[in-house]
Structure 1
Amino acid sequence: MTYTVGVCDDSPEQVDLLVHYLKSYQGNDDLIIVRSTDPADFLVRLKQHPPHIVLLDVDMGDCNGIQLGGTIKELFGGAVVVYITAYEKYALEAFHIRAFHYLLKPLTRAKFNQMLEEAICLLRKEDSSKTEKTFAVQLKGEMLNLKYSEIDYFEKTGHRIKIHAQSGESFFYDNLNSLLMRLDKNFFFQCHQGYIVNTGKIRAFRDKTLFLDGDLQIPVSRSFTDKVKEVLTRRLFT
């Protein structure tokens, strides 16, 4: 498979290093490299060569790398955006534009290769017909089977759990602790005494509130705030 990888950093030395790592990659895939030290020029080049993977710095002079990443995601929705920067403080902002990774400089070849392999693996999975994870529960004599991607969140309502899904709302008897044991923690986590949220639906976190797809808002209790930050940053730093 051939993948196009874009590299943009205002430091020519950093661009040279990343390009060197890419050219030294020992995988079975061919890589087309699009490089630039100027964000505006970079976008022009990407329009000529739509990217699969994009490697960006955060602070590039007058250009905000987070905003640049957001623009790239809008133009090339399937692009895997990775930030390689010296600034840890922008990690949550990177999550908001669905960045795949957030790596801190100095970047070792081993860490780079691991990230690249994971990014390519993700692209392969998206292109494959692999069966998606599902959640099944018995409802009034019939089995409800929902894909993880169809579920927004679970809400505790008395002795029952309400499923908020794209197809509508459903109720079943259970408690959140038991439910959490049944769910894959890579996809769902508890953010409040009354809510379990689909991580993939989160678009922002501010003012003790999680903002999900479809203008949904879920409260975050104080005792779960650190957990929320941990979950949102874990995917960027691992």
Structure 2
Amino acid sequence: MIRIAVCDDEQIQNDLIINFIESMNLSEVICKCFTSGEELCDKYGESKFDVIFLDIVMKGLNGIEVGKRIREIDDRVILVYLTGFADFALEAFELNSFHYLIKPITKNSFNNLFEKILVRLEEIRALENKNKVLSFKTKDCIFQVRYEEIYYLEKNGRKIILYTEDNAYDFYGSLKKLLLELPQDIFLQCHQGYAVNMTKVREMEVDEIQFIKIKNKVPVSRRYKCKVTDRLKTY
């Protein structure tokens, strides 16, 4: 889900940006419009955003002041400034803004920028996933393993075996349920009893997957082969 805020004190500009976004036919996008910087700041705590298109010259709080307030509570959000004046570019970039668009904004310039935004969002989410951890309880204690350390998961009866470069941990659980919790852009089921971390895959040969640092191999069943091949190519 991509959450987008558009803030301009001229509603016609908000509508223009929303129309550009809708014309891209993206799935799972939520857009919300604000007609003042004060409104955006007041309601920002209720729901954070992934991307903000923010006008600079507005009545009341201008876009630079709004950006400063938002950066105090959210250093992750992608800020894109909308302005009719290039003079504000330096101030905008000092706030770690992603880019700025000079009005009048064309559909072509917007689409080109939005493609770059989508790439940046993938980078941000990949970094977040890299730093996330999976917690599980073994017979002796509770472990936490970072996603980036996991090579693959194996179903073994009522247990799951988790493999890292140096260790293997077994704990009770359902592979099917666990995969619903893990990020699907990283973890991929390749067999009824196996799932792999795509960042650790070196190659796929016919009906098995090999990894970059460990000698273990994981089978790829006929049921999952087409999906696995497509996902690995894309990845």
What is the TM-score with the length of structure 1 in the denominator?
0.51
Cα distance in 2 between the residues matched to 1:86 and 1:8: 15
Q: CA deviation at 1:79?
A: 0.1
Question: Is structure 2 residue 11 aligned with structure 1 residue 12?
Answer: yes
Question: Is structure 2 residue 24 aligned with structure 1 residue 25?
Answer: yes
Give the structure with the larger strand fraction: 1
SS, match of residue 48 in structure 1: coil
Task: Supply the AA of the counterpart residue of 1:117.
Answer: E
Query: Which stretch shows the higher mean deviation, 93-102 or 62-71?
Result: 62-71
Q: CA deviation at 1:47?
A: 2.0
Question: Is structure 2 residue 67 aligned with structure 1 residue 85?
Answer: no
Question: Is structure 2 residue 90 aligned with structure 1 residue 96?
Answer: no
Pick the aligned partner of 2:55 from 57, 73, 91.
57
Task: Supply the AA of the counterpart residue of 2:46.
Answer: Q
Cα distance in 2 between the residues matched to 1:126 and 1:96: 20
Q: Relative to 1, partners in 2 of residues 1:129 and 1:66: Cα closer, same or farther, differing over 3 Å? A: closer
Q: Retained in 2: the 8 A contact 1:53–1:80?
A: yes
* Structure showing greater relative contact order (alpha-carbon pairs closer than 8 Å, 6 or more residues apart): 1
Task: Supply the AA of the counterpart residue of 1:9.
Answer: D
Task: Supply the AA of the counterpart residue of 1:108.
Answer: T
Q: Percent identity?
A: 30
Q: Relative to 1, partners in 2 of residues 1:129 and 1:99: Cα closer, same or farther, differing over 3 Å? A: closer
Q: Retained in 2: the 8 A contact 1:3–1:30?
A: yes
Q: Relative to 1, partners in 2 of residues 1:12 and 1:128: Cα closer, same or farther, differing over 3 Å? A: same
Q: CA deviation at 1:22?
A: 1.6
Q: CA deviation digits over 1:92-112, x for unaligned, max 9?
A: 010110010011001111111
Q: Retained in 2: the 8 A contact 1:82–1:99?
A: yes
Runs of 4+ in 1 over 3 A off after TM superposition: none
Cα distance in 2 between the residues matched to 1:62 and 1:45: 16
Pick the aligned partner of 2:125 from 127, 141, 151.
127
Q: CA deviation at 1:85?
A: 0.9
Q: CA deviation digits over 1:185-228, x for unaligned, max 9?
A: xxxxxxxxxxxxxxxxxxxxxxxxxxxxxxxxxxxxxxxxxxxx
Structure of larger gyration radius: 2
Aligned to 1:188: none
RMSD: 1.9
Question: Residues 1-238 of structure 1: matches in 2 within 5 Å?
Answer: 2-27=1-26, 29-128=27-126
Q: Retained in 1: the 8 A contact 2:37–2:60?
A: no
Aligned residues: 129
For structure 1, the 5+ residue unaligned runs are 131-238
